[in-house]
Structure 1
Amino acid sequence: MKVTGGCYCGAVRYEVEGEPLMKAQCHCRECQYFTGGQPNDFIAFPDAGFRFTKGAPKAYARAGLDGAVTREFCAECGTQLLTRSPALSGAVILKVGSLDDPSVFGQPQMIMQTDDAQSFHHVPDGILAFARFPG
């Protein structure tokens, strides 16, 4: 599978080839900050098949937080592009909203951090859900 994407203003573009490691939705409070209050839909791919094809993102990792992830986003328009997590080393976690064709997501295979879900979040029935990160 080949997937392409980028930011809203077009300054940063990427592509990835490979099979998804997971398609998931996260309700953690950190993801809510970066999505504007909603859960975070993402597809994780092996990092080996990923590359930026135009521009470069800005990266941010919160200091003093155990297991902090690195979030990469466009410095021009602010679009969240991807996350790199020590818990999923060797993978790139792409934000569904940054995909050229978000329909490749389909639906999540699992839902995480439901203990942090807000009353206005929808957690679909029939999908494996975890109160906290599985592990």
Structure 2
Amino acid sequence: MRLEGGCYCGAVRYKAEGDPMMQAQCHCRECQYITGGAPNTFIAMPAAGFSYISGQPKQFTRKDLARAVTREFCAECGTHLVTKVPGLPAAVVKVGTLDEPGQFHPQMAIYTCDKQEFHAVPSGMPAFEKLPGR
């Protein structure tokens, strides 16, 4: 699969190639902050196939958390593009930044332990309190 996308203002563009590692909704509290309250929809793509085509994102990593993720976003418009998780060889691409969001086919909902009443999980989609197998 090949994905292309970028931020709202167009200053940062990326491409991602390879077999998706996961396509999901994340309901964790941290993702709710990033989305403004909704679940975060993402496609985890192999890190080796991910690169920025134009522009460079700004990065943010919380210093007060063990194993904190690094979030990459456009310094101009603030669009959150990618999350990188320590020890995971993936670029977690935000679906809203894709040129073709229809490429997203969610397989599961994760971290439903933090799900809000107004969050919807499609009927029949597997849901996990944390990550599958944990």
| TM-score between the two structures when normalised by the length of structure 1 | 0.94
Q: Distance in 2 between matches of 1:24 and 1:93?
A: 10
Partner of residue 95, structure 1: 94
Matched AA of 1:99: L
Which whole-Å deviations, capped at 9, do the CAs of 1:23-72 have from their partners, x for residues lacking one? Answer: 01100000000001000000011011111000000010111112210000
- Secondary structure at the residue paired with 1:129? coil
Q: Cα offset for 1:127?
A: 1.4
Aligned length: 133
CA RMSD across the alignment: 1.0
Partner of residue 118, structure 2: 120
- Secondary structure at the residue paired with 1:119? coil
Q: Structure 1 stretches (4+) deviating beyond 6 angstroms?
A: none
Fraction of identical pairs, as percent: 59
Q: Distance in 2 between matches of 1:3 and 1:113?
A: 25
Unmatched 5+ stretches in structure 1: none
| TM-score between the two structures when normalised by the length of structure 2 | 0.95
